[in-house]
Structure 1
Amino acid sequence: MKSLQDAVGNLKGVGPKRVADLATLGIDTVEDLLTYYPSRYDDVTPVDLATVKDRQKVTVQGIVVSEPLLTRFGYRRSRLAFRIQVGQQVVLVTFFNQPYLEKKVKLNQPATVMGKWDAQRQQVTANKLVTASDQAKAGAGAIYPVNKHLRQATLKGLIKQAFDDYQNVIPTLLPKPLRDHYRLLDRRTMIHDLHFPKNATVAQAARRTAAYEEFFLFQLRLQAIRQANRHADGNRILYHNDELKEFIAGIGFELTDAQKRVVNEICRNLREPYQMNRLLQGDVGSGKTIVAAIAIYATITAGYQAALMAPTEILAAQHAEKLAKVFAGTHVHVGLLTGSLTAKQHRELGKAIKSGDVNLVIGTHALIQDDVDYANLGLVITDEQHRFGVNQRQRLREKGDQPDVLAMTATPIPRTLAITAYGEMDVSVIDELPAGRKPIETRWLTVSQQNQALHFLRDQLAAGAQAYVVSPLIEESEALDVQNATDLYNELAEYFGPRYRVGLLHGRLSGEEKDDVMHRFQDGQIQVLVSTTVVEVGVDNPNATVMMIYNADRFGLAQLHQLRGRVGRGDRQSYCLLLADPKTDEGKERMKTMVATNDGFVVAQKDMELRGAGDVLGNKQSGVPDFKVGDPVSDLKMLQVAREDAANLLKTPHWDEQDENQPLVLYLHRHQLETHFD
Structure 2
Amino acid sequence: MEEETNTMGAAPIPLENSVEELSGVGEKRLLGLHHLSIFTIEDLLMKFPLRYSDLATKLPSETGDGEKVTFKGMVSSAPVLSRFGYKKTRLNFRLLVEHDNIAVTFFNQPWLQKKLDLEQEVAVYGTYEKSKQTLSGIKILLPDQVDEMEAIYPASKEIQQRTLKSLIEQALGKYQDDLVNLIPESIRAQYKLLSRKAMFFGMHFPQSLIEAQNARRTASFEEFFIFQMRMQLLKLMDQNHQGRAIVFDNPRLKAFIQTLPFELTDAQKKVVNEIVADMRRPKHMNRLLQGDVGSGKTVVAALAIYAAFTAGMQAALMAPTEILAQQHAKTLGDFFDPAEVRVELLTGSTKAAARRQILADLADGSIDLLIGTHALIQDDIVFHNLGLAIIDEQHRFGVKQRAKLREIGMNPDILAMTATPIPRTLAITSYGEMDISVIDQLPKGRQPIQTRWLRGNALEQVVKFILQQLETGAQAYVVTPLIEESEALDVQNAHAVYEELQKYFMPQYQVGLLHGRMNNQEKDAVMSQFKSNQFQVLVATTVIEVGVDVPNASVMMILDADRFGLAQLHQLRGRVGRGSRASYAFLIADPKTQFGIERMEAMTATTDGFVLAQKDLELRGAGDVLGRRQSGMPEFKIGDPVKDLLMMEAAQQSAMQVLDAPNWDQAPENKALAHYLSETMERYRNFD
- 2:492 corresponds to 1:450: no
TM-score after normalising by structure 2: 0.80
**8 A contact 1:470–1:548 mirrored in 2:** yes
What residue number does 1:291 align with? 300
Shift, 1:437, TM fit: 1.0
- Which one of 495, 498, 514 corresponds to residue 489 of structure 1? 498
- 2:435 corresponds to 1:431: no
Shift, 1:322, TM fit: 3.8
- Which one of 27, 37, 42 corresponds to residue 31 of structure 1? 42
- 2:563 corresponds to 1:557: no
Structure 1 unmatched runs, 5+: 68-82
**8 A contact 1:142–1:195 mirrored in 2:** no
- 2:526 corresponds to 1:509: no
Aligned-partner residue type, residue 152 of structure 2: A
What residue number does 2:642 align with? 633
**Counterpart secondary structure, 1:545:** strand
- 2:482 corresponds to 1:476: no
Structure 2 unmatched runs, 5+: 1-11, 81-93
- 2:464 corresponds to 1:462: no
**8 A contact 2:151–2:204 mirrored in 1:** no
- 1:132-171 deviation per Cα after TM superposition (whole angstroms, max 9, x unaligned): 389979886423276x987767665665555455433233
- 2:12 corresponds to 1:4: no
Shift, 1:344, TM fit: 11
Shift, 1:454, TM fit: 1.9
Aligned-partner residue type, residue 140 of structure 2: A
Distance in 1 of aligned mates of 2:451 and 2:330: 30
- 2:154 corresponds to 1:144: yes
Q: How many residues align?
A: 653
- 2:579 corresponds to 1:570: yes
Distance in 2 of aligned mates of 1:626 and 1:315: 32
Aligned-partner residue type, residue 215 of structure 1: F
- 1:22-74 deviation per Cα after TM superposition (whole angstroms, max 9, x unaligned): 666655544334324334445566666777789x9744769999x9xxxxxxx
**Counterpart secondary structure, 1:307:** strand
Question: Percent identical across equivalent pairs?
Answer: 52
**8 A contact 1:470–1:532 mirrored in 2:** yes
What residue number does 2:139 align with? 131
What residue number does 1:377 align with? 386
Shift, 1:577, TM fit: 0.8
**8 A contact 1:46–1:60 mirrored in 2:** yes
Distance in 1 of aligned mates of 2:207 and 2:497: 57
What residue number does 2:552 align with? 543
What residue number does 1:334 align with? 344
- Which shifted more, 385-394 or 596-605? 385-394
- 2:616 corresponds to 1:607: yes
Please show how residues 132-211 of structure 1 align to structure 2 within 5 Å. 132=140, 141-144=151-154, 159=168, 162-211=171-220
Distance in 1 of aligned mates of 2:315 and 2:27: 48
Question: Over the residues paired in the alignment, what is the CA RMSD in angstroms?
Answer: 4.7
Largest Rg, 1 or 2? 2
Shift, 1:540, TM fit: 1.6
Distance in 2 of aligned mates of 1:154 and 1:201: 26
TM-score after normalising by structure 1: 0.81
- 1:92-119 deviation per Cα after TM superposition (whole angstroms, max 9, x unaligned): 999xxxx98799999x99975459x9xx
Residues 84 and 450 of structure 1, relative CA distance in 2, 3 Å threshold? farther
Shift, 1:178, TM fit: 1.6
Distance in 1 of aligned mates of 2:203 and 2:365: 56
Distance in 1 of aligned mates of 2:445 and 2:490: 40
Distance in 2 of aligned mates of 1:16 and 1:307: 54
Please show how residues 16-165 of structure 1 align to structure 2 within 5 Å. 27-43=38-54, 58-59=68-69, 112-113=125-126, 130-132=138-140, 141-144=151-154, 159=168, 162-165=171-174
- Which shifted more, 253-262 or 166-175? 253-262
- Which shifted more, 622-631 or 137-146? 137-146
**Counterpart secondary structure, 2:247:** coil
Distance in 1 of aligned mates of 2:645 and 2:163: 35
Residues 387 and 139 of structure 1, relative CA distance in 2, 3 Å threshold? farther
Distance in 2 of aligned mates of 1:105 and 1:18: 26
Distance in 1 of aligned mates of 2:362 and 2:33: 45
Distance in 2 of aligned mates of 1:247 and 1:46: 77
Aligned-partner residue type, residue 517 of structure 1: V
Residues 452 and 162 of structure 1, relative CA distance in 2, 3 Å threshold? farther
Aligned-partner residue type, residue 45 of structure 2: L
What residue number does 1:236 align with? 245
- Which shifted more, 189-198 or 10-19? 10-19
**Counterpart secondary structure, 2:467:** helix
**Counterpart secondary structure, 2:442:** coil
- 2:657 corresponds to 1:648: yes
